[in-house]
């Protein structure tokens, strides 16, 4: 199971990274436009923050084959080694994915809505396919069912390609995508705390503290080992 942070906000990425076991950072053109005036600087800073082994994802902004290839080369040479280039799941995108995958790039097919897009992108060599869960739910289509179909068909036809489910708004969407078979998820920084927090856990901790203090007062457990 892989967890990625969907953000280009350095301080938010740092907050999550220090607390949660994450595998890297995903970005897209809208995230970069919202969160920075200098995308190259922001991406380089994220790379420095996450180190060389966690994966950094950045998306091409060109929509034609030549432009996508040129941008992929520039992104990889500046942001490698653990870098995955995001290419939209279009006909031009498929052509670019095929070339880039053959050249050894890690490719993420993005902005995905359908099972056929997934199968074609996997066949073109994509390592990850990224369905946009909330955007699919907004069409009154059950995104978990779609993600489940994607995962099932990939396991059968293209097991090296993973579903990287994206665009979540509530934890239940994350649960359902993972239960349906997504091997990776990318989540906004603000949502990570929601995934670990539980009022039940808080109540248990309060109970431990109360019972402990009643007997041992201010002493912590390490005080007994002095």
Nearest-angstrom CA–CA distance, 210 and 223: 17
Among 75, 130, 147, 180, binds ligand E4P (CB under 6 A): 130
Query: If binding is defined by CB under 6 A, does position 113 make contact with ligand E4P?
Result: no
Residues in the interface with ligand E4P (CB under 6 A) total 11
Binding mask 3-22 for ligand E4P (x = CB under 6 A): ---x----------------
Binding mask 145-174 for ligand E4P (x = CB under 6 A): ---------------------xx-------
Taking phi over 0 as left and psi of -120 to 50 as alpha, with beta for the rest, 110 belongs to beta
Residue 99 appears among annotated catalytic residues: no
The CB-side HSE value for 67 (13 A sphere, CA atoms) comes to: 10
Q: Are 121 and 97 in contact (CB under 8 A)?
A: yes
DSSP string, 156-188: HH-TT-EEEEB--SSHHHHHHHHHHT-SEEEE-
The SS3 assignment for 129 reads strand
Nearest 5 degrees, angle CA 96-CA 64-CA 183?
45
Cβ 219 to ligand E4P, closest distance in Å?
47
Nearer residue to ligand E4P within complex by CB, 170 or 203: 170
Terminal alpha carbon distance of the chain: 41
Among 61, 78, 116, 134, binds ligand E4P (CB under 6 A): 134
Cβ 199 to ligand E4P, closest distance in Å?
27
For residue 65, what are its two tokens? Answer: 């084959």
Pick the catalytic residue from 12, 41, 76, 86: 86
- Write out the residues near ligand E4P by the rule CB under 6 A: 6, 26, 28, 30-31, 130, 132, 134, 166-167, 186
| Catalytic positions | 86
């Amino acid at each position: 199971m892989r967890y990625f942070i969907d953000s280009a906000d350095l301080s938010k990425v740092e907050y999550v990274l220090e607390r949660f076991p994450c595998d890297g950072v995903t970005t897209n053109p809208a995230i970069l436009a919202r969160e920075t005036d200098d995308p190259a600087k922001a991406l380089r800073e994220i790379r420095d923050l996450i180190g060389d082994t966690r994966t950094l994802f950045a998306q091409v902004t060109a929509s034609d084959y030549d432009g996508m290839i040129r941008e992929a080369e520039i992104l990889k040479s500046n942001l490698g080694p653990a870098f995955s280039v995001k290419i939209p799941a279009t006909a031009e995108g498929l052509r670019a994915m095929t070339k880039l995958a053959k050249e050894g790039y890690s490719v993420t097919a993005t902005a995905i809505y359908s099972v056929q897009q997934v199968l074609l992108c996997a066949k073109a060599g994509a390592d990850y396919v990224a369905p946009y869960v909330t955007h699919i739910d907004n069409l009154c289509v059950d995104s978990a069912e779609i993600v489940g179909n994607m995962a099932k068909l990939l396991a059968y036809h293209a097991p090296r390609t993973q579903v990287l489910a994206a665009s979540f708004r509530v934890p239940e969407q994350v649960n359902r995508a993972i239960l349906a078979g997504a091997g990776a998820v990318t989540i906004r920084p603000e949502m990570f705390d929601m995934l670990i927090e539980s009022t039940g856990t808080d109540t248990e901790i309060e109970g431990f503290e109360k019972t402990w203090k009643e007997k041992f007062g201010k002493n912590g457990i390490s005080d007994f080992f002095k």
